[in-house]
Amino acid sequence: MFVGFLQGAFATHDVFPEQTGGAYVGADICSECHEDKFDQILPSRHAQMSDLRTPFAKRGCETCHGAGEVHAASEGEDLTGVVVYGKGSNVPVEKQNKLCLSCHQDTGRMHWQGSAHEAADVACTSCHLIHQPDGVLHKAKESDVCTSCHTKVRADMHKASAHPIRQGQITCTDCHSPHGAVGPKALTAWTVNQNCYQCHAEKRGPFLWEHEPVTEECTVCHTPHGSNNPALLQRRGPMLCQQCHQVMNGTSHATHINEKYDWSGGAGSRRFLVGANCMNCHSQVHGSNHPSGAMLQR
Amino acid sequence: MKRIQAGHVTLGLLLATGAAFPAHAEEKGAAAEESKSAVAEEIEEAAALVTGTIEYGLGYVSDDSYGFGRFTGLEEEGLFLVGGIDAEFRPGRPDYLHFHARDLGLDSRWLLFEYGEQGKFETHLEYNQLPSFKMDSAQTPYQGVGTNTLTVAPGASPTSLLPLKLETERRRVSGGFSLFSGANWKTSLDVRHETKEGTDWIGGALLATAGGGGGGAGGGIGRTYAVILPEPVDQTTTQMDASLEYSNKRTQWKMNFHTSLFNNANSSLRWEDPGFAVSGGASLPAEGQLALAPDNRFFQLSFSGATSITDTTRFTGAWSVGLMKQDDAFLPYGIDGSAAATAALPRDSLDGEVRVYNARLGLTSRPLKPLRLKAKYSYDQRDNRTPQAAYDYDRLDSGRTPTVAAVNEPLSYRKHKLDLDANYRFSSSWSGAVGYEYRNTDRENSDVDKSREHIGTASLRWRPLDQLDGVLRLTKSEREASSYEAELTNQNPLLRKYNLTDRDQTRTGILVNYVPVDTVNIGLSADMIKDEYTESALGLAETDGKSYNLDISFYPSEDLQLHAFYTYDRMDSQQLGSDAPATTLYRVDYEDRVDTIGLGAEIKNVWKRWDLAVNYRYSMGEGDISHTDIIPTGSPTAFPTLSNDLHHLELSASYDLSKKMQLKVAALYEELTTEDWVVDGVSPYPDNRLLTLGNDSEDYDAWAFVIAVRHEF
């Protein structure tokens, strides 16, 4: 069995689409019945015959859909050798994608194999339109496509605090690569923090006085897609801060760090709840470069 | 064209041009011979066309509201211009030139030029503006807003404040080119320069000489007086990526050099005591000074590549080395002229340096047709080489130093991750997957030096019918911290920081997609995640998240599309705290829940000439926080419920005036109602030791209307 595995791992599979539908008949024949599809694809990048990489510079429609002689001879009845893409496809997703990758397996998609979308059997045509202008490439439409599956993100981006995704000012692909990437969660940068620093470079430092969750990962305190709390925080202060800051009673600052800041507390404790709560004084939570900023107050 | 966008379908989109791409063909591939004839003629005919749209018109916003126009520039009542262009043409074969512009009449405008020759070279030049209207009802006693020196305005005090608006704006210019050499090589250069200007907020504190209570030896929380200050924002970030890429059918690789240069025009913020009513005969420093974000530089060289060893086995590898540098001149310890303030610094600047290393290795294979295997390894290192020194700091510009100097502790880590997955298709209707992931992290200057995590995943996919697809996924993980030794000497030894300590995590996901008839699609999903911090006697003890979603789409015809969705999202957490005296213990229960509803319809060719669309979103968010004494036992005390109710409605209609001209009208309505105990009923000066911005909770309702004409050419 192990030998079989090895043989399989080093196997060379057939070229796709296999030429099982007779001879190639040319796009003119296709256009006689599929005029609407033909008209749609003509102005697209796929139909640029001057670019030798495009399907139309090779075998026209049959580059992707397979040889059409049998299909044409049967006046469309016989689908032998013809590949249909997208909803109602007559071939597995993997094979559909393989055809696309035969041209698009460039550096932008070199991490596709093993990516989350590949593992979930997402077809290229689940997101992309091949014949028509491709909506997912349109900045303002992209998030519609992504959130049709990532429904929690759709809810998140309507929360009180959110990145301007629903306003169309940033897109999912500003941070993520749906075709796979070196970063976690298909982030285009290597790490979460390197990703965030692309727009929030002021947080990069290094600072004289560092705050460990900041250097560790921004998501320790923040949630990226939307939150009920200001500044995309996981929770509100001072409770958020108290999840990691409790000191020995009787030691310096114990009373104000450990205190139970409930709403029934007196006016004296309200100053730790309102305004910016802990950040009223410890405003430099992302790090301080002030020689007197050891407590992140300068 | 005007783009006003929110939700999934936007006014801008409803006004948007259908981007038609012109095309032409001059040279033909050798393999195209058999399919050229009529096709080539049609393509050449298309090439003669210059296509595109231009839209112009007027819009009107019904009310002033920073919330309504936060990121779009629709913050001000009144008229605005609607303008946009989508032009795609080729001035000469085989070149192309694209020009797109949106929101020309607003502060969120965007322009893009693209010029190139498909398969040979590409260039682009882009301009993007992004406003952020943060707060329009803030107050401050200061003059000099927007500068790094704030002085109390004549007649102003904590009880007599001036109006203040907080807003920032980003402006980004980016450009670049790519050259294709043959079919395999690509060389690119991209440069992005962004400015961010405006006013934000930041807290500043001063320490009184005496008075107040608490704090213990050397403490002084009772003597600390804080004010939320208007922070000047004048920053630039320049980023550049230069890359060389190679691709063929089997092997691809990319080498990239990334540069990021951040510059802050304001290295400090100085402010006066706003006139706090200091009690007990104490006095405050006349001024305080904060350090603002220092300039920094980042350089990263990376290489990533992949090769298909065979058609069924693929290897990927990637590596990067980066350097973060920061060497802004230090500010003095203080600014009051005292010995503490003017003491010699151990260094003039930090000379901060962090080396960043990342590596990835991956192998995917399909040894049998139904079997997919994946192995991935990743390595991330943050090696902080910043020099350490002892700093005898000046406490909040009071002229007092601590009894023990503070030594900076540069933070470093190494993270290893190994991920193994196998996916097997049992039949056309059943498939399953199992996975194992191992994480190992080493840290320096942290409470936890080492942690390990084991994660197991299993999933099952069932597709009994072409119309029905279901996925069940289970994930279980255990994270173990090798030891827990607090870096801070006074940290309660019972506390465990949740991102470092032991954790058991269970995650369950269910996904069902059903297409009862071709025109109807029903999607159901559920995602549950539970974290238990098993060693945390204090700190975050448990979180429990649930998210359920139902989506229904109905497409009875090409001219009618309807959709609806509902999402329930909830995150509960429990944390434990110990109040003084040491024998007390309390629990905090935190509940966040958001219900989101969406309804939409799109109807085309109504009375032959009308296209209509409506989209509605409702997001109802609530947050409850309560405290309960455990030792001694007590009754829960709850905060007022936090709530955010957002109604968002989009209406649009397009009327065909002629074959190439449409009249478009659109409306956007948004209403936000917020209840927030942080600001509701809270005066700007709620305590004689805190001066806030005194802003109101964010409530607004406003309309934006657009009428525009769209020409196709």
Give me the residues of chain A with pLDDT under 50, please: 12-14
Domain membership flag for residue A295:
no
Inspect the interface and report whether the beta carbons of B312 and A247 lie closer than 8 Å: no
| Preferred mutation among A190, A193, A259 to probe B, highest tally of B CBs within 10 A | A190
| Tokens standing for residue B300 | 């990263």
Domain membership flag for residue B179:
yes
Please say if the pLDDT value at position B9 is more than 60.
no
pLDDT band of B35, cuts 50, 70, 90 = very low
How far off is chain A from B105, nearest CA to CA, in Å? 15
Q: What is the dihedral of CA B214, B216, B219, B222, to 10 degrees?
A: 10
CA distance A75 to A277: 74
Which residue in A11, A242, A294 is closest to B577 by CB distance? A242
Give residue-wise pLDDT tens across range B455-496: 999 999 999 998 999 999 999 999 999 888 888 878 888 999
Phi and psi at B214, nearest 5°, equal 70, 180
Number of domains in chain A: 3
CA distance B490 to B402: 15
Domain membership flag for residue A265:
yes
Q: Which of residues 661-700 of B touch A (CB under 8 A)?
A: 672, 674, 677-679, 682, 686-687, 689-690, 692-693, 698
Q: Which of residues 586-615 of B touch A (CB under 8 A)?
A: 586, 588, 590, 592, 594, 596, 598
pLDDT band of B209, cuts 50, 70, 90 = confident
Region of residue B452 (left: phi > 0; alpha: psi -120 to 50; beta: else): beta
On average, the pLDDT of chain B sits at: 90
pLDDT at B218: 44
* Closest residue on chain B to A56 (Cα): B32
First-to-last alpha carbon distance for chain B, in angstroms, is 14
DSSP-derived secondary structure for B653-676: EEEEEETTEEEEEEEEEEEEEEE-
Between B293 and B16, residue with greater pLDDT: B293
At A7 the three-state DSSP class reads helix
Please say if the pLDDT value at position B694 is more than 80.
yes
pLDDT at A267: 66
Domain membership flag for residue A236:
yes
pLDDT at A137: 86
Please say if the pLDDT value at position B92 is more than 70.
no
Q: Which of B596, B165, B447, B399 is nearest to A157 (CA)?
A: B596
| Tokens standing for residue A176 | 């993520």
Q: Which of B274, B294, B277 is nearest to B228 (CA)?
A: B274
pLDDT band of B25, cuts 50, 70, 90 = very low
Between B76 and A53, residue with greater pLDDT: B76
Residue B449, judged by CB atoms within 10 A of its CB (0-12, 13-18, 19+), counts as middle
CB atoms within 10 A of CB B148: 18
Cβ–Cβ under 8 Å, residues B102 and B115: no
pLDDT at B20: 31
The arithmetic mean of pLDDT across residues B61-85, rounded, is 96
Number of domains in chain B: 1
Residue B166, judged by CB atoms within 10 A of its CB (0-12, 13-18, 19+), counts as buried
Chain A residues within an 8 Å CB radius of B186: 106-107
pLDDT band of B172, cuts 50, 70, 90 = very high
Range in B90-104, B437-451, B489-503, B516-530 the model is least confident about = B90-104
pLDDT at B311: 87
Please say if the pLDDT value at position B3 is more than 50.
no
Can you say how many angstroms the Cα of residue A79 is from the centroid of all Cα atoms in its chain?
35
Is the CB of residue B237 less than 8 Å away from at least one CB of chain A?
Answer: yes
Eight-state DSSP code of residue B276: -
pLDDT at B93: 59
Range of the domain at A141: 108-125+137-188
**Single-letter residue type at B604:** K
Give residue-wise pLDDT tens across range B228-282: 999 999 999 999 999 999 999 899 999 999 999 999 999 999 999 999 998 777 8
The arithmetic mean of pLDDT across residues B562-584, rounded, is 88
CB atoms within 10 A of CB B159: 12
Inspect the interface and report whether the beta carbons of A291 and B391 lie closer than 8 Å: yes
Q: Which of B237, B278, B276, B283 is nearest to B260 (CA)?
A: B237
pLDDT band of B135, cuts 50, 70, 90 = very high
Inspect the interface and report whether the beta carbons of B644 and A28 lie closer than 8 Å: no
Domain membership flag for residue B502:
no
Count how many residues are written for chain B: 713
CA distance B605 to B627: 58
Domain membership flag for residue B266:
yes
Is the CB of residue B438 less than 8 Å away from at least one CB of chain A?
Answer: no
| Tokens standing for residue B233 | 């924002």
pTM for the whole thing? 0.91
Range of the domain at B223: 122-409
pLDDT at B230: 98
Q: How many helices (H) and strands (E) would you count in chain B? A: 3, 34
Inspect the interface and report whether the beta carbons of A50 and B118 lie closer than 8 Å: yes
CA distance B598 to B602: 14
Give residue-wise pLDDT tens across range B348-371: 999 999 999 999 999 999 999 899
Which residue in A60, A239, A275 is closest to B32 by CB distance? A60
Domain membership flag for residue B387:
yes
**Single-letter residue type at B481:** A
Domain membership flag for residue B485:
no
pLDDT at B23: 31
- Do A205 and A245 fall into the same domain? yes
Give residue-wise pLDDT tens across range A80-95: 889 999 877 888 898 8
The residue behind tokens 């005591």 is B273
- Do A176 and A205 fall into the same domain? no
- Do A149 and A213 fall into the same domain? no
- Do A166 and A118 fall into the same domain? yes
Cβ–Cβ under 8 Å, residues B704 and B11: yes
**Highest-pLDDT range among A182-196, B6-20, B681-695:** A182-196
| Tokens standing for residue B529 | 């995640």
CB pairs under 8 A between A and B: 526
Please say if the pLDDT value at position B78 is more than 60.
yes
Eight-state DSSP code of residue B2: -
pLDDT at B213: 47
Is the CB of residue B72 less than 8 Å away from at least one CB of chain A?
Answer: yes
pLDDT at A5: 53
* Closest residue on chain B to A105 (Cα): B249
How far off is chain B from A203, nearest CA to CA, in Å? 7
- Do A156 and A211 fall into the same domain? no
Domain membership flag for residue A88:
no
Chain B residues within an 8 Å CB radius of A148: 551
Q: In DSSP terms, which residues pair with B174 in a beta bridge?
A: B126, B192
